[in-house]
Amino acid sequence: MKRIITLSYVSVFAVCLVSLVAGDGRVGALIQETSPVTFVEVPLKSAGITWVHDNGHSPERHLPETCGGGGIFIDYDNDGWMDIYLVNSGPSDFFKPEKPIRNALYRNNHDGTFTDVTEKAGVACGKMGHFGMGASAADYDGDGWQDLFVTNYGANVLFRNNGDGTFSDVTSVAGVASPNWSTCATWFDFDNDGKLDLFASSFVEYSANSSIFCGDNKMGRRYYCIPRVFKPRPSHLFKNEGNGKFTDVSKSSGIASALGKSFGVVATDINNDGLMDLFVANDTVANFLFVNKGGGKFEEIGLASGVGYSDSGSPRSGMGADAADYDGDGWQDLFVANIDQELFSLYHNEKDLTFIDKPGEIAGATRLLSGWGLKFFDYDNDGDPDLFLANGHPDDMVEMQASRVKYREPLLMFENVNGTYKNISSRSGEVFQKDFPARGMAVGDYDNDGDLDLLIINNGEAPVLLRNEGGNRNNWLGVHLVAAKSGGSNPMAVGAILTWQAGGVKRSRLKTSGGSYLASHDPREILGAGKAATIESLEIRWPGGKVDKLTNLPINQYIRVVEGEGLSKTDTSKAQGPQK
């Protein structure tokens, strides 16, 4: 006999409507200066992208239907141009699609168009148990080719890049399937042995045979249950053994001791001790902040640090997460997006393992929104991390009970102005006047023009590709790091610290891993120089602790820097001056 529970996304989070500071999120504080940067929606047909996300929508309202899909930027063929991988749903214990559903890999043709190479590459997934969520790319075996990890409701999949345009499914050999329900994943070196390890976040206990029913019995309608009514699960940490195999160290590391309902994750270093920590967004339970204690151990300090709950002491519906030093004080700050009425959080690092929530203008702009994909990135190449948010309510029936909360929601763009975020969505392009059921979001320079573009994956709809127009009006330097000396298989230098000086101004950036939701990003770093005519110096502190310092650097082009060898060949890309 089914147990009747009337909790739903709608009934819990649409009951406390208050006035907005910034309207529906599109209009923020007035800014005197004029932004030269807009994001232009690329017509997918002309770009050659025909893939559409299928969420498996059913009358039974199974929870995994609300959470996909994901997508990433990945240079799978090492030609210096970002390709695109998109993750779809698929057959599962509750979904039997009438037509085949698959993921898609699109090769970048270097001219603004893409070619579908999924079948040749062998990364379609689409078989039973692969109801897709997201993906994460990294060169886990150190052979110089980016590999691909796909998270699912069902068993996860690890594809090894063969270096010839194809991938091999090595999940069983590697031992990283972690069946049930995984959402975000990220690659990072938690023990500083030079090999990329893998964290896969776990969502709730769920199956088609779940006895929980959420809905309005009088209306005869069924709603999506909120995750609060499901049991939490431990996430997974896999240690890279360097021989193609991984060891599950979830229990011995302390990761598994914290039961959560985990969505977004970012690997960062919150206390500047050279060990990568993990910030994990949880839905309806406290967020996790796993501090790396060394020796393969983590301590969860979300509550003590001030990032676990709201200021009122309540758990929120954490979805997307990211980290960056937004105010330039040398310490990593954190961001997490929640569901409507809960406000999004910008956590300022107080340098003592505690954080203070200082959302500023972001709070009013997001009160009626639900955030998923998000990222700190320098959209205008002035050297400071700006912030983009992709939003959409998880329940497609929310508008039946909430007059001011919508299922499809606007995108938001915030500019970093001297360490304070200003809502510039209304002047960042026509796409910000539209609404989307957004989920995953990835950042990358797909056209190699020196500014970062955006890929947004919509639940049950076609994705959106946004081209950055004007970000390269400021000077920049694109850096492809190769950590050849730090050991093993962390060639992309996750955990490296880049410090560059341009026009007499010194800035620093930690190369984090993960961030956003169901996504991973362009592995190259674009260092903004503003109007400075030169970048006087670039210092790279590699993950192993070694330091390289470069001077007399080129500008407005991509370079390749190999640990211990300095400037190598220029990547295959456009090398050009500031755009007028």
Burial class (CB in 10 A: 0-12, 13-18, 19+), 499: middle
Measure the CA–CA gap between 296 and 375, rounded to whole angstroms: 28
H helix count then E strand count, the chain: 7, 42
Q: Return the sign of the alpha-carbon dihedral for residues 450, 83, 246, 255.
A: positive
Measure the CA–CA gap between 560 and 214, rounded to whole angstroms: 54
At 489 the pLDDT is: 62
User: How does pLDDT run across 299-331, given as a tens digit for each residue?
Assistant: 999 999 999 999 989 999 999 999 999 999 999
At 402 the pLDDT is: 80
At 219 the pLDDT is: 63
At 480 the pLDDT is: 96
Tell me the C-alpha to C-alpha distance, in Å, between residue 184 and each of 156, 267, 396, 504: 11, 12, 22, 39
Measure the CA–CA gap between 85 and 81, rounded to whole angstroms: 13
Measure the CA–CA gap between 468 and 451, rounded to whole angstroms: 6
pTM score above 0.85: yes
* Token reading at 161: 């890049």
Helix, strand, or coil here: 433?
A: helix
Burial class (CB in 10 A: 0-12, 13-18, 19+), 76: buried
Concatenated DSSP letters of 482-522: E--SS-TB-TT-TT-EEEEEETTEEEEEE--EE-BSS----
At 444 the pLDDT is: 98
At 31 the pLDDT is: 39
At 570 the pLDDT is: 53
- Counting every residue, how long is the chain? 580
User: How does pLDDT run across 439-493, given as a tens digit for each residue?
Assistant: 999 999 999 999 999 999 999 999 999 999 999 999 999 999 999 865 556 788 9
Burial class (CB in 10 A: 0-12, 13-18, 19+), 168: middle
Mean pLDDT of the chain: 91
Measure the CA–CA gap between 457 and 442, rounded to whole angstroms: 9
User: Could you say which residues of the chain have pLDDT below 50?
Assistant: 1-33, 571-580
